[in-house]
Structure 1
């Protein structure tokens, strides 16, 4: 599947951005792109918050 356009672009995949993207994606006729720029912690790794 390939798209040249998006109906909505949500910048930021935090709590609010994820909710907004989920709500917008409820329309099967629309397209949503969620853009997130997280920190790079190294190849194949991710940061885990301490308890």
Structure 2
């Protein structure tokens, strides 16, 4: 696996996970969008780890 690609994937995942830190500032109706983005990013990162 390309270390640079892994690093980029990790940074992208970190950015999405950081959205959870500000979740209390987001309206409850927007929580689903944030959770969906985090779920999607985690699944993509895990899929990339299998390569």
The alignment's TM-score, normalised by the length of structure 1, stands at: 0.38
* Greater C-alpha Rg: 1
Which structure's relative contact order is higher, taking Cα pairs within 8 Å and 6+ residues apart? 2
Q: Would you tell me which structure has more strand in proportion to its own residues? A: 1
The alignment's TM-score, normalised by the length of structure 2, stands at: 0.38
